[in-house]
Amino acid sequence: MHPFRRTCLFLAITVGTVALVPAPPAHAQEASPNSDSLVQVQSTQLQAAERAHLWRVAGWGGANALGGL
């Protein structure tokens, strides 16, 4: 067997063996007591910002519609 073929065969067997090894178990991230409240605060802020943006868009759209009449 040629050295190049031997090397390729060795690499193929090695990679195949490593691919069959099971992954280590995943561990869940522990939630801190403040993480839920932070998410709720940020969610409320995002909703308020979206609502304000929609009102601005509606205002500009109304002004443009009136200007076009």
Instruction: Let me know if residue 27 belongs to a domain.
Output: no
Instruction: Let me know if residue 45 belongs to a domain.
Output: yes
pLDDT of 31 > 70? The answer is no
What is the domain count for the chain?
1
At 37-62, the pLDDT tens digits run: 888 999 999 999 999 999 999 999 99
Instruction: Let me know if residue 11 belongs to a domain.
Output: no
Instruction: Let me know if residue 24 belongs to a domain.
Output: no
Instruction: Let me know if residue 62 belongs to a domain.
Output: yes
Average pLDDT over residues 34-39: 76
- 68: burial class by Cβ within 10 Å (0-12, 13-18, 19+)? exposed
54: containing domain: 41-69
At 5-21, the pLDDT tens digits run: 888 788 788 877 777 77
Position 35 scores a pLDDT of 64
Position 34 scores a pLDDT of 64
Tokens of 58: 């509606």
